Amino acid sequence: MAVIRDMIPSFELLQPTSVDEAVDLLEQRDNTWVLAGGLDSMDWFKDRIKRPDSVVELSGIDALKGIRTSGDGLEIGAGTTLTEVANSAEVQSRFGLLAQAASEVATPQIRNQGTLGGNLIQDTRCWYYRGGWPCYRAGGNICYAGTSRSMNREHCVTGASRCVAVNGSDTAGALIALGAQMMVRNTSGERVFEAEDFFIGPAIDIQRMTVLQPGDLLTHVRIPGDYANARFYWEKVRDRKSWDWALVSVAASIVESNGTIERARIAVNGIAPHPVRLTDVENLITGMPANNDTADAAGSLATRGFRPLRHNDYKVPLARNLVRRAVRGDAA
């Protein structure tokens, strides 16, 4: 068990002013940490669980900030604060799903400091892992949350592979439902990932939550106009109205014509180590009326194959009902 201390371990602070300079530093240095808003980072540093030799602090890179038009959609810098995303007239008017998700992250003070990129790439909140226990994700040989005597009320009901921790990002599901793309830079150039492929589970790499490798930097999020002004649905269920991470959340973008669903994108988070896009549900409801029968079928399909742990079986009906509400378009 980790011992919490007041002193943060020493490191070399590097403050680049351009993306090129930042990725050069990340390439040149070993054991380097990227810091944006610093909220997740400071937790790790204060508990002395993460001990980087160098920290690349991004607040001086203006190119990573701001919201601008890109084709028929928007491009948002990874360093843009969550408050700016939530309050943006452009995001609210065309992609209100993201504005609503960003507005429900933690507290106003945290949203003022925290960035969109930081919310997307934050590490999992499993208390065994965050507490310094030597679990699989931390390089050990056990998942403490997955045993018969574990406290695992907030953990996976699907998608587990040794690790049962969940993804904690509120904006991740919204961006998947909007068909967004993540733009990643390193010294070799830029790569673009579909939002649903950006997040990975322990079956791929148990020590990472995203595709980002050492030397990579998430620079922007691009939202195409495909689902602009669609019927959006966002709902986040949590223990407390403020501060808390979601127990389960759902994000949906649905395009309808005369009461019939023409196309849809639906993502659920809090049920797996990564946000889950419900492609089978999307296919099921396409061409169907947005009524109770369609919603019930969607909810049942969404939770098929779930395997709850000792303390989190409530997530099965919770996820089922959130998907039903999203398909029907209930008031959240």
**Is residue 100 domain-shared with residue 194, that is, in the same domain?**
yes
Asked whether the predicted pLDDT for residue 3 surpasses 80, the reply is no
Asked whether the predicted pLDDT for residue 238 surpasses 80, the reply is yes
**Is residue 110 domain-shared with residue 183, that is, in the same domain?**
yes
**Is residue 264 domain-shared with residue 314, that is, in the same domain?**
yes
Can you give the pLDDT at residue 145?
A: 97
**Is residue 109 domain-shared with residue 188, that is, in the same domain?**
yes
303, 320 Cβ separation under 8 angstroms: yes
Q: What is the CA radius of gyration of the chain?
A: 20
Can you give the pLDDT at residue 26?
A: 98
Tell me: the pLDDT tens digits for 178-201?
999 999 999 999 999 999 999 999
Can you give the pLDDT at residue 4?
A: 55
255, 101 Cβ separation under 8 angstroms: no
Give the CATH number, domain containing residue 234: 3.30.390.50
In a domain, 296, yes or no: yes
In a domain, 34, yes or no: no
Give the CATH number, domain containing residue 113: 3.30.465.10
**Is residue 184 domain-shared with residue 241, that is, in the same domain?**
no
**Is residue 212 domain-shared with residue 242, that is, in the same domain?**
no
Cα separations in angstroms, 276 against 6, 100, 174, 203, 212: 37, 19, 11, 14, 18
Asked whether the predicted pLDDT for residue 331 surpasses 90, the reply is no
**Is residue 294 domain-shared with residue 216, that is, in the same domain?**
no
- The share of the chain scoring above pLDDT 90, in percent, equals 93
Tell me: the pLDDT tens digits for 35-82?
999 999 998 998 888 999 999 999 999 999 999 999 999 999 999 999
- Cα 235 from Cα 258, distance rounded (Å): 25
**Is residue 190 domain-shared with residue 234, that is, in the same domain?**
no
Tell me: the pLDDT tens digits for 251-296?
999 999 999 999 999 999 999 999 999 999 999 999 999 999 999 9
Q: Please enumerate in sequence order all residues whose Cβ is within 8 A of that of 6, keeping only pairs 6 or more positions apart, or say none.
A: 46
**Is residue 199 domain-shared with residue 257, that is, in the same domain?**
no
**Is residue 231 domain-shared with residue 106, that is, in the same domain?**
no
Rounded to an integer, the average pLDDT of 159-165 is 97
Q: Which domain holds residue 214?
A: 64-121+166-225
Q: Please enumerate in sequence order all residues whose Cβ is within 8 A of that of 291, keeping only pairs 6 or more positions apart, or say none.
A: 328
Asked whether the predicted pLDDT for residue 1 surpasses 80, the reply is no
